[in-house]
Structure 1
Amino acid sequence: MDHAHPPVLLVIAHGSRDPRHAATVHALAGRLRSLRPGLRVETGFLDFNAPSVPQLLDRLALEDVRDVIALPLLLTRAFHAKSDIPAVLREASARHPLLRIRQAEVLGPSALLTVALERRLYEAGLTPADKGSTGVVLASAGSSDPEAIAVIAEIAREWRHTGWCAVRPAFASASLPRTEDAVRALRAEGVRRVAVAPYVIAPGFLPDRIAAGAREGGAEVLAGVLGAAPELARLLLRRYDERAAAPERITPLARPA
């Protein structure tokens, strides 16, 4: 990597009609800039918000930028990471043959995300001493992709080994159980305190559904979304560095082996 002119880091977010979504994405981008002065960080959206990813890549090409690493702001390898983001990037590459665009890996799973989840639980009032008596519902947005669902279940299993009384996955859409049902199931098993940890990055419709499920199920603790957690910013930079250092593949935007 040319350290004098490192690739532009393009954070690709889904976008939302909820203004809190874009505000969170921009806050995270600001944290990246403070962690890595000199690195150009841009944010583009797939829907609802401006600039769109194609608009942003067009602008970068007009500025004679030659190297971009596109980093999906996604926690699992579901539809967006496998299909529509690569398609958008391929179309931009066809329009701008001098612009090198490489797609980085999604954020999860990662131990840094688990640390960020615990940070949010402690900010919501728990302490490390509460772990043995607290069951956690790991509540994700949900996906129809079996791979993404399996990853959430595996994260819950791994997180349980760090001392929590129990950790159960739940989903706001597309999959079951719902947050409220997972909370009730832990309560039925005799867990004294139940906390809900949203495994989502930014506020919006599905995170609000998770919060409503936590209230409906009677959870004692509801953590905030991951947001601009320092661990999330460090993980974004790690994925950027990994992609920048990776040997070039024949098809830059193909799925890694």
Structure 2
Amino acid sequence: MDAVLYICHGSRVKEGCREALSFVQRCKEKVSIPIQEAAFLELAEPTIEEAFERCVEQGATRIMAIPILLLTAAHAKQDIPNVLKKMIMRYPHVELSYGQPFGVQEKIIDILLEKVKDTNQEVTDQAMALLVGRGSSDQEALMQFQEIAQQLEERSKFQRVNTCFLAAATPTFKEGLLNATTLHYRQVFVIPYLLFTGVLMSEVIEEVKKLSSSSQQIILTNYLGYHSNLIDLLVEQVHQLHSSLVK
């Protein structure tokens, strides 16, 4: 019997975990596979191990594990696979297929443009954007992030799109924000590239609040959130994985 294991990041902030579980529930409704469980990599329950065992207890012999992550970094390449490897050793009769983070997708650029529009602030010809990532030491993830920024610049009215990070990479968010205020653009749209609310989003809000200028607008958009576009991308990946299993 087939199962889908949705693996979310996890957060110390309960609202962030509730958002993730609500997203998974919306995905489940579009997937006809009989067994579907959600798990968190860290900071919340159920753990990957617990959710994997729930799948097995319900009769799963093939499990599709999908990391619900934005970029392909250490969590997707090492942390989650290491846990899954242990579970396969424990249940060798189970066939496992492993998905991929969202990566670079046109539908995600669509979400970013929507978040900018939702501010109800018209983007002028003197506007730039600051795309704020979680941060990673993984070069592939950093390259993906730069490509997303480039595509956003190409598809928007922004004169430029800079990137910065909340951890593990440079420039830091504080450095990126301070630099943006020196570039003499009348509008700076700060766009958090985050899936859920939490400690990092609170940090972005606090830093933006500290900066105000009569000659420059600092406009904070909402974080990505678990948008319907992401549901479409995730469901498409589940279908692709399932098709490869049944061949």
Q: Which amino acid aligns with 1:237?
A: V
CA distance in 1, matches of 2:236, 2:210: 37
Q: What is the CA–CA distance in structure 1 between the aligned matches of 2:125 and 2:3, rounded to whole Å?
A: 44
- 2:165 corresponds to which residue? 171
Instruction: Give the superposition deviation at 1:99.
Output: 1.9
CA 1:123/1:78 → structure 2, altered by over 3 Å: closer, same or farther?
A: same
Q: Corresponding residue for 1:124? A: 119
- Of the candidates 220, 224, 230, which is equivalent to residue 228 of structure 2? 230
**Cross-structure match for 1:68:** 63
On the 8 A contact 2:36/2:55 being kept in 1, the answer is no
Amino acid at match of 2:69: L
Change in CA separation of 1:181 and 1:39 when aligned onto 2, cut-off 3 Å: farther
CA contact (8 A) 1:116 1:232 kept: no
Q: Secondary structure at the match of 1:148?
A: helix
1:143 aligns with: 136
Residue range with higher mean Cα deviation, 239-248 or 186-195: 239-248
Mapped to 2, the partners of 1:66 and 1:81 lie a distance apart of: 23
* Structure 2: distance between partners of 1:145 and 1:85: 15
How far apart are the structure 2 equivalents of 1:159 and 1:76? 16
SS at match of 1:189: coil
Aligned to 1:244: 242
What residue ranges of structure 1 are gaps of 5+ in the alignment? 249-257
Superposed, 1:75-114 pairs within 5 Å as 75-114=70-109
Q: Residues 35 and 216 (structure 1 numbering): CA distance in 2 closer, same or farther, change over 3 Å? A: farther
How far apart are residue 244 of structure 1 and its match? 2.6
C-alpha displacement at 1:131, in angstroms?
A: 6.0
Which residue matches 1:159? 152
Please give the TM-score of this superposition, normalised by the length of structure 2: 0.88
Alpha carbons of structure 1 residues 39 and 131: separation in structure 2 relative to 1, 3 Å: farther
> Hey, what's the Cα distance between the residues in 2 that align with 1:95 and 1:212?
45
Instruction: Give the residue type in structure 1 aligned to 2:233.
Output: L
* CA separation of 1:232 and 1:37: change in aligned 2, threshold 3 A: same
Shift of 1:202: 1.0
Mind listing any 5+ residue stretches in structure 2 that lack a counterpart?
Answer: none
Letter in 2 for 1:135: M
**How many residue pairs end up in the alignment?**
241
Which letter maps to 2:138? D
Question: Which secondary structure state, in structure 1, belongs to the residue aligned with residue 101 of structure 2?
Answer: coil
Q: Would you say the 8 A contact 2:211–2:218 is kept in 1?
A: no
For 1:190, what is the secondary structure of its paired residue? coil
Q: 1:32 aligns to what?
A: 27
What does the per-residue CA deviation read over 1:5-47, in whole Å, with 9 as the maximum and x for residues that have no partner? 7x42221112122101211101211221344466653210122
TM-aligned CA deviation for residue 156 of structure 1: 0.9
Which whole-Å CA distance do the structure 1 matches of 2:11 and 2:124 have between them?
A: 34
**Measured at CA, do residues 247 and 40 of structure 1 come closer, stay the same or move farther in structure 2, by a change above 3 Å?**
closer
Structure 1 residues 180, 14: CA separation in 2 closer, same or farther (over 3 Å shift)? same
Q: Return the offset for 1:215.
A: 2.7
CA RMSD of aligned residues (A): 2.2
CA contact (8 A) 1:66 1:98 kept: yes
Question: Which of 10, 13, 22 is matched with 2:5 structurally?
Answer: 10
Q: Structure 1: how far apart are the matches of 2:54 and 2:28?
A: 20
The one-letter code matched in structure 2 to 1:200 is L
1:217 CA drift (Å): 4.2
1:194 positional shift: 0.9
| Distance (Å, rounded) in 1 between the aligned partners of 2:151 and 2:26 | 28
The ranges of structure 1 where at least 4 consecutive aligned residues each deviate by more than 6 angstroms after the TM superposition are none
* Whole-angstrom distance in 2 between the partners of 1:9 and 1:42: 6
Aligned position for 1:182: 176
Counterpart CA distance in 1 for 2:207 and 2:242 is: 40
